[in-house]
A = this chain, B = another copy of it.
Amino acid sequence: MKDVISILRHCGIQPTPQRIAVVEYVLKNKSHPSADEVLSSARKRCPTVSRATVYNTLNLLVEKGLLAMQTIKEGAVVFDSNLEKHHHFIDMDTGRIYDISWDQLQVKGKEKLKEFEVTEFQVIMRGRKKKG
């Protein structure tokens, strides 16, 4: 993966220590952190970073298409660095969210919905992850 600084420059975002701390965490993270989790982690690297800066940076990344925002859990939006189309599985016990690659599921029938113009979709599954 390219280094964070060049990614930011490439999008016209000035790389500052605060932003690097945020981006470093959120783009290399395969879990689905909330803004608050990003804040805590960014503070390990840059203890003075403020909540507003974290939100600003996350919103910037979403705006630039470097990060996806998902509203699939209650309480808070989560951020997803996986930019490929994919589905989601949510473990009902742990709350953990897993990506399910796009081609593992086939959804048919959308084109028959005459009243609706579907521009994006995903399957959201809930259940339990098997051990292992």
- The residues of A with any CB-CB pair to B shorter than 8 Å are 69, 71-74, 77, 89, 92, 98, 100, 104-110, 112-130, 132
Contacts and interface: CB of A to CB of B under 8 A. Distances in A.
The DSSP consensus for interface residues of chain A is strand
A127 B116 contact: yes
Nearest to A69: B74
Contacts of A121: 123-126
Contacts of A126: 118-121
A98 B114 CA distance: 13
The oligomer's copy count stands at 2
The 3 closest A-B pairs by CB, nearest first: A121-B125, A119-B127, A105-B109
Contacts of A122: 123-124
A120 to B, nearest CB: 5
Contacts of A125: 110, 116, 118, 120-121
